[in-house]
Structure 1
Amino acid sequence: MKQKLFFTLVGASFALAAYAHYGTDLDLFKFITASLAVVFLAAWLGKATESVAHYAGDRIGGFLNATFGNAAELIIAFFLVKSGYFDMVKASITGSIIGNMLLVLGLSVFLGGLIYKEQKFNSLLAGHNASLMILAVIALFVPAVFMQQLPVAKINTLSIVIAVILIVAYVLWLIFSMVTHKDFLSDIEPHDGEPSWSKGVSIIMLLVATFFVALVSEWLVHSVEVVTKAFGWSEIFVGAFVIAIIGNAAEHSAAILLAMKNRIGAAVEIAIGSSLQIALFVAPTLVLISWFLGQPMNIVFSPFELAAIGASAFIAISISRDGATNWFEGVLLLAVYIILGTAFFFV
């Protein structure tokens, strides 16, 4: 009965968003209905992820959630790159990285910590995640440092070289963590209760929910641009915070839900794993795609974006490296996110 009611709400919210997108010219109405639909669709995706994680483990479940969640961002960013909106793409990449490390992880740790005094996850995995975050920060800082000393052509070549290295490093990390050393990085938290669906149905639900989340997210991005212009918000603030929060709605709900069920390992895998995937795979892939499209986008980020990414990585590493979390650490992550958001708002 609860599932019928839940899917009735999901269907109704999607139908309303579809009607608003195709049937009216009211941008604010489109924005509100699309936002409502994303909330219910993200809850559906979170439920599917939890069910898949029950069968495949929290590492693979979290990886699948991050991958499917980032697929929508990759598709939207592809069209932005094709249209030459490089600054918007870089801002959304920045927003995704810091949003997952600070907002998603912060809310997960805070709300989970209110229920459980201390939550633990694999400290070895946390250490490797920290090292990968440092690699991502180095890779983004180096082109910005050398930009003044190198011509545009060489900066573009350097960007391609760095992009290839990051993609190779990320693929090798997946092999290391899921094949050769998976036993060392395995889950340490119990899986209580029964999954909502069978293994096959869980995978189908994950795929279908991802499709609808991607579809409605695109509607929301189109409507949010007009709405934010009406409020006079800057492009970098819209890209780094508004669009990034919307694009990551799926990861938000899934990570928080799992953390509140004392499965902080899966929540960390979704939040940190998604940030790493954006920095080590999505951003480099967009650089290579832009090169094939004949209008290369370099990997040089603005000082504001680099400062935000560096600060986010620093606090996330400081909090997660010991493999244990509490609600106050969630407060610290959220405090840094609010500080960065306020700064970006005034840029």
Structure 2
Amino acid sequence: MKLRLFFIIVGCILLLAGYAHYFTENELFQFITSSIAIVFLAAWLGKSTESVAHYAGDRIGGFLNATFGNAAELIIAFFLVKEGLFEMVKASITGAIIGNLLLVLGLSVLLGGLKYKEQTFNSKLASHNASLMMLAIVALFIPAVFMKELPPIKIETLSIVIAVLLIIAYVLWLVFSMITHRDFLSDIETHESEALWSKSVSMIMLGISTFFVAVVSEWLVHSVHQVSTSLGWSELFVGAFVIAIIGNAAEHSAALLLALKGRIGAAVEIAVGSSLQIALFVAPTLVLISLLMGRPMDIVFTTFELAAIGVATVITISITRDGATNWFEGVLLLAVYLILGTAFFFI
């Protein structure tokens, strides 16, 4: 009954967003309805991936949650690249990384910690995640350092080389974590859960929800530039916080539900794994996609963006390295997120 009501609401919101996009000229109305639609679609996506994860286990399930949870960000970013809004693309990448590390993980740790005094997960996995995030910071830092020393064509070449190396590193990480060392990095506890649908229905739901996320994402991008201009918001703030929060809705719902069920290991896998996927796969992929479109995007991030990613990574490593969490650590993560959000708003 609850699911039926949920899908009725999703259908009504989709119809409203479609009406706003095709039959009105009010871009603020288009932006608001598209944003609300993506949030509900991301919740649908989250339910679908959680159901699929039931049949695949926590490690692969966490990967699926992160992958399809990032579908909204990737699709939105793709259309932004198509429109040539590269600065907003980089801001949305920054926002997605810090949003997952600070907001999604912070809320999961806080709410899970209020229900359970302490939650534990595999500290070895946390250690490897920390090393991968440091790799991402190094890869983003190097082009920014050399930007003033190299001509644009060489910066583009450097960006392509780094993008390819990051994708290779991420693929090898999947081989390491999913195949050769899967047991070594598995969660320290096993958990029983129930799937919402059968395996085949779960896969169908996953495909349909991803399709609608793609459609509505294009509607959102159509209005976002004009809305940011009319409201006086910078592209940096819109990309890093507005679009990132909307795009992170799937991770929010999935990670929070898992944390409240005492499965903080799976919640960490979604939040941190999603950030790693964005930094090591999504961002480099967008660089390569931009080449195919004939409008190359470099991988040079601003000082503000690098500082935000660096700060988010450092505090996440500090909190997760012992393999245990409590509600106060969630407060710390959320405090840093609010500090960064305020700073970005005034830039």
**Band of TM-score, shorter chain:** over 0.9
**2: CA distance between counterparts of 1:336 and 1:260?**
22
State the Cα deviation string for residues 217-249 of structure 1 (Å, max 9, x = none).
332343343333332111111111111111222
The residue aligned with 1:274 is 274
Q: 1:61 to 1:149 in 2, by over 3 A?
A: same
Map 1:300-315; keep pairs closer than 5 Å. 300-315=300-315
Q: TM-score, normalised by structure 1?
A: 0.94
Deviates more, 1:28-37 or 1:181-190: 28-37
For the 8 Å contact 1:50–1:258, the answer to whether it is kept is no
Map 1:276-291; keep pairs closer than 5 Å. 276-291=276-291
**2: CA distance between counterparts of 1:82 and 1:226?**
16
Do residues 35 (structure 1) and 29 (structure 2) align?
Answer: no
Q: CA deviation at 1:6?
A: 2.3
Do residues 184 (structure 1) and 175 (structure 2) align?
Answer: no
**2: CA distance between counterparts of 1:72 and 1:285?**
15
Deviates more, 1:106-115 or 1:310-319: 106-115
Paired AA for residue 213 in structure 1: V
Map 1:104-183; keep pairs closer than 5 Å. 104-183=104-183
SS of alignment partner, residue 149 of structure 1: coil
State the Cα deviation string for residues 107-131 of structure 1 (Å, max 9, x = none).
1111111111111111111111110
Q: CA deviation at 1:139?
A: 0.6
**2: CA distance between counterparts of 1:112 and 1:149?**
48
The residue aligned with 1:54 is 54
Deviates more, 1:319-328 or 1:60-69: 60-69
Q: CA deviation at 1:137?
A: 0.4
Paired AA for residue 89 in structure 2: V
Deviates more, 1:159-168 or 1:217-226: 217-226
**1: CA distance between counterparts of 2:80 and 2:212?**
20
SS of alignment partner, residue 70 of structure 2: helix
Paired AA for residue 345 in structure 1: F
State the Cα deviation string for residues 139-192 of structure 1 (Å, max 9, x = none).
111111122222222222221111111110000000000011111112333333
For the 8 Å contact 2:136–2:279, the answer to whether it is kept is yes
Map 1:231-242; keep pairs closer than 5 Å. 231-242=231-242
**1: CA distance between counterparts of 2:293 and 2:303?**
27
Paired AA for residue 61 in structure 2: G
Paired AA for residue 240 in structure 1: A
For the 8 Å contact 1:159–1:299, the answer to whether it is kept is yes
The residue aligned with 1:226 is 226
Q: CA deviation at 1:257?
A: 1.6
Paired AA for residue 243 in structure 1: I
**2: CA distance between counterparts of 1:221 and 1:288?**
20
The residue aligned with 2:206 is 206
For the 8 Å contact 1:144–1:300, the answer to whether it is kept is yes
Deviates more, 1:33-42 or 1:328-337: 33-42
The residue aligned with 1:326 is 326
**1: CA distance between counterparts of 2:336 and 2:267?**
19
**2: CA distance between counterparts of 1:25 and 1:294?**
30
**2: CA distance between counterparts of 1:225 and 1:112?**
37
The residue aligned with 1:265 is 265
State the Cα deviation string for residues 3-31 of structure 1 (Å, max 9, x = none).
22222222222222222222323333333
Deviates more, 1:83-92 or 1:238-247: 83-92
For the 8 Å contact 2:51–2:197, the answer to whether it is kept is yes
SS of alignment partner, residue 233 of structure 1: coil
**1: CA distance between counterparts of 2:289 and 2:212?**
25
Do residues 2 (structure 1) and 2 (structure 2) align?
Answer: yes
**2: CA distance between counterparts of 1:61 and 1:144?**
35
SS of alignment partner, residue 148 of structure 1: coil
Q: 1:6 to 1:295 in 2, by over 3 A?
A: closer
For the 8 Å contact 2:63–2:273, the answer to whether it is kept is yes
Q: CA deviation at 1:193?
A: 4.2
The residue aligned with 1:75 is 75
SS of alignment partner, residue 147 of structure 2: helix
**2: CA distance between counterparts of 1:230 and 1:35?**
17
Paired AA for residue 346 in structure 1: F
State the Cα deviation string for residues 234-291 of structure 1 (Å, max 9, x = none).
1111111111111222222111122111111221111111111111011111222223
Paired AA for residue 295 in structure 1: R
Q: TM-score, normalised by structure 2?
A: 0.94
Q: 1:193 to 1:162 in 2, by over 3 A?
A: closer
